[in-house]
């Protein structure tokens, strides 16, 4: 595991790319409604990215392993945790929740972000899952600053989630991002405060809690991409790309 420090110019580029990504995701979220297919959301995301001079970073990812991801957007519905593939056959229904995960290349650097949103009116328990997962990301972000430890982020996320009655996925973690879609260091959403890699100014991290309503275990479906909860419970996912600073952090994926 190695630390990858970005220059001020690289962070400036990532900030610009992250702004584009946030604008695109905002457009996609606005299009979520009952009857829309996940394929339509994907088409919107791709067109919106390319019209702004960015390129999808997920499309074709994994080609070297012989199983390239076939879309711009991951659209994970209900018990799908992450990486579900959009489909023209899958129409969203009122009461569902859908995770929208997107990444882009802009001027040679990569950013990554995700939100999970309700489709129409959702049950109170599902709404609480969304609120807790979003807040767990904020709790994790509060720990980010030069000199902190990676375990500080994970411990803050884990404790908030578990006190709220949910569980954190352990088989998937956040990651460094910038020169690659996924780069060192791993960023777990669980752990012990005061342990792990020391954070340094200039590191750029994709922090992304994945939270299940039931047990933390997950499994991968036959398409080799879609990750679902092992017990069939609902799951939510929120993510920002952030730069570590001396004083704290800067969210790079903001409009």
What does the pLDDT look like over 79-97, one tens digit per residue?
999 999 999 999 999 999 9
1 found inside a domain: no
Contact 105, 54 (CB under 8 A): yes
22 found inside a domain: yes
Q: What is the mean pLDDT of residues 179-192?
A: 97
3 found inside a domain: no
142 found inside a domain: yes
Q: What is the pLDDT of residue 3?
A: 78
- pLDDT value at 1 more than 90: no
- For the chain, give the percent of residues with pLDDT over 90: 99
Quick one: pLDDT band at residue 114, thresholds 50, 70, 90? Answer: very high
- pLDDT value at 2 more than 80: no
Quick one: pLDDT band at residue 239, thresholds 50, 70, 90? Answer: very high
2 found inside a domain: no
Contacts of 17 (CB under 8 A, 6+ apart): 54, 104, 105, 106, 107, 109, 110, 111, 252
> Please, what is the end-to-end C-alpha distance for the chain in angstroms?
32
Question: What integer best gives the mean pLDDT of the chain?
Answer: 97
Q: What is the pLDDT of residue 219?
A: 98
pTM score of the predicted model: 0.97
Contact 213, 129 (CB under 8 A): yes
Measured between alpha carbons, how far is 101 from 80 in angstroms, rounded to an integer? 12
Which pair of structure tokens corresponds to residue 241?
């790309």
Q: Give the distance between the most distant pair of CA atoms in the chain.
A: 48
Q: What is the mean pLDDT of residues 69-84?
A: 98
101 found inside a domain: yes
**CATH code of 130's domain:** 3.90.230.10
- For the chain, give the percent of residues with pLDDT over 70: 100
Contact 84, 97 (CB under 8 A): no
Contact 206, 175 (CB under 8 A): yes
Range of the domain at 50: 8-251
Contact 145, 248 (CB under 8 A): yes
Domain count, the chain: 1
183 found inside a domain: yes
């Amino acid at each position: 595991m190695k630390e990858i420090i970005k220059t001020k110019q690289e962070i400036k580029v990532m900030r610009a790319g992250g702004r584009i990504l946030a604008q695109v995701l905002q457009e996609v979220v606005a299009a979520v409604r009952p009857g829309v297919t996940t394929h339509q959301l994907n088409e919107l995301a791709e067109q919106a990215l390319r019209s702004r001079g960015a390129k999808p970073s997920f499309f074709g990812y994994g080609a070297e392993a012989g199983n390239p991801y076939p879309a711009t957007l991951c659209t994970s519905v209900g018990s799908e945790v992450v990486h579900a593939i959009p489909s023209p056959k899958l129409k969203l229904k009122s009461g569902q929740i859908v995770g929208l995960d997107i990444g882009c290349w802009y001027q040679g650097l990569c950013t990554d972000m995700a939100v999970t949103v309700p489709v129409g009116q959702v049950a109170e328990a599902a709404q609480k899952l969304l609120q807790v997962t979003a807040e767990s990301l904020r709790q994790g972000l509060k720990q980010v600053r030069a000199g902190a430890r990676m375990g500080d982020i994970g411990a803050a996320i884990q404790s908030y989630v578990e006190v709220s009655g949910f569980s954190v996925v352990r088989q998937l973690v956040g990651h460094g991002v910038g020169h690659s879609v996924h780069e060192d260091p791993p960023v777990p959403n669980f752990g012990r405060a005061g342990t792990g890699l020391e954070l340094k100014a200039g590191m750029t991290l994709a922090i992304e809690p994945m939270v299940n309503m039931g047990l933390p275990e997950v499994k991968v479906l036959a398409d080799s991409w879609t990750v679902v909860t092992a017990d069939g419970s609902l799951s939510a996912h929120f993510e920002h790309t952030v730069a570590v600073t001396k004083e704290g952090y800067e969210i790079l994926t903001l409009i």
